[in-house]
Structure 1
Amino acid sequence: MATRPLALVTGASSGIGFELAHLCANNGFDLLIVADRPEIDAAADSLRGLGGATVEAVQVDLSTEEGVDTLLAAAKGRPVEALLANAGHGLGHAFLDQDWKAARHVVDTNITGTIYLIHKVGKEMRARKGGKILITGSVAGFTPGAFQAVYNGTKAFIDSFSHALRNELKDSGVTVTCLMPGATETEFFERAGMTDTKVGTAPKDDPADVAKTGFEAMMRGDGDVVHGLHNKLQTTVANVTPAAMLAEQHRKMAEPGSAKS
Structure 2
Amino acid sequence: MQQTVLITGGTSGIGLELAKLFAADGYRLVLVARNEQGLAEASTLLTEKFDASVITIAKDLFQPESGNELYQEITEKGLQIDVLVNDAGQGAYGLFVESDLQRQLDIIQLNISSLVTLTHHWLKGMVLRRQGKILNLSSIAGKIPGPWQAVYHGTKAFVQSFTEAIRSEVKDYGVTVTALLPGVTDTDFFNKADMNASKQVQDKNAMADPAEVAKDGYKALMDGKDMIISGFKNKLQLAMNAVTPDETAADRMNEMQEPRDRDKS
Same fold? TM cut 0.5: yes
Per-residue deviation, residues 217-255 of structure 1 (Å, max 9, x unmatched) = 111111100001100011111111111111111111211
The one-letter amino acid paired with 1:63 is F
Distance in 1 of aligned mates of 2:232 and 2:252: 19
Per mean C-alpha deviation after superposition, the further-off stretch among 194-203 and 6-15 is 194-203
- In the alignment, does 2:252 pair up with 1:253? no
Could you say which residue in structure 2 is the equivalent of 1:5? Answer: 3
User: TM-score when scaled to structure 1?
Assistant: 0.95
Per mean C-alpha deviation after superposition, the further-off stretch among 93-102 and 61-70 is 61-70
The 3-state SS of whatever aligns with 1:132 is strand
**Over aligned residue pairs, what C-alpha RMSD do you find?**
1.6
User: TM-score when scaled to structure 2?
Assistant: 0.93
The 3-state SS of whatever aligns with 1:74 is helix
Distance in 2 of aligned mates of 1:259 and 1:26: 46
Runs (5+) with no aligned partner, structure 2: none
Q: Which runs of structure 2 are paired with 1:164-179 in the superposition (5 Å)?
A: 164-179=165-180
After the TM superposition, which parts of structure 1 deviate over 4 Å for at least 4 consecutive aligned residues?
A: 258-261
Distance in 2 of aligned mates of 1:192 and 1:139: 17
Could you say which residue in structure 1 is the equivalent of 2:149? Answer: 148
Q: Which runs of structure 2 are paired with 1:79-158 in the superposition (5 Å)?
A: 79-158=80-159
- In the alignment, does 2:13 pair up with 1:15? yes
For the 8 Å contact 2:93–2:195, the answer to whether it is kept is: yes
> How much does 1:206 deviate?
0.1
Distance in 2 of aligned mates of 1:130 and 1:163: 18
For the 8 Å contact 2:83–2:133, the answer to whether it is kept is: yes
The 3-state SS of whatever aligns with 1:58 is strand
The 3-state SS of whatever aligns with 1:80 is coil
> How much does 1:161 deviate?
0.7
Pick the aligned partner of 1:218 from 221, 241, 248: 221
Could you say which residue in structure 1 is the equivalent of 2:66? Answer: 67
Runs (5+) with no aligned partner, structure 1: none
The 3-state SS of whatever aligns with 1:153 is helix
> How much does 1:59 deviate?
1.6
- In the alignment, does 2:27 pair up with 1:29? yes
Per mean C-alpha deviation after superposition, the further-off stretch among 39-48 and 155-164 is 39-48
For the 8 Å contact 2:29–2:54, the answer to whether it is kept is: yes
Per-residue deviation, residues 6-32 of structure 1 (Å, max 9, x unmatched) = 000111110000000111100120000
The 3-state SS of whatever aligns with 2:83 is strand
The 3-state SS of whatever aligns with 2:5 is strand
The one-letter amino acid paired with 1:93 is G
Distance in 1 of aligned mates of 2:191 and 2:127: 38
The one-letter amino acid paired with 1:214 is G
Pick the aligned partner of 1:227 from 191, 207, 230: 230
For the 8 Å contact 1:25–1:50, the answer to whether it is kept is: no
Could you say which residue in structure 1 is the equivalent of 2:239? Answer: 236
Q: Which runs of structure 2 are paired with 1:38-49 in the superposition (5 Å)?
A: 38=36, 39-49=38-48
Distance in 1 of aligned mates of 2:70 and 2:135: 17
Distance in 2 of aligned mates of 1:229 and 1:235: 10
The one-letter amino acid paired with 1:56 is I
For the 8 Å contact 1:198–1:259, the answer to whether it is kept is: no
- In the alignment, does 2:207 pair up with 1:209? no
Distance in 2 of aligned mates of 1:258 and 1:211: 33
| Pairs aligned (count) | 259
The 3-state SS of whatever aligns with 1:7 is strand
Could you say which residue in structure 2 is the equivalent of 1:56? Answer: 55
For the 8 Å contact 1:141–1:152, the answer to whether it is kept is: yes
Over the matched positions of the two proteins, sequence identity in percent amounts to: 39
Per-residue deviation, residues 58-84 of structure 1 (Å, max 9, x unmatched) = 121113342223333135121111111
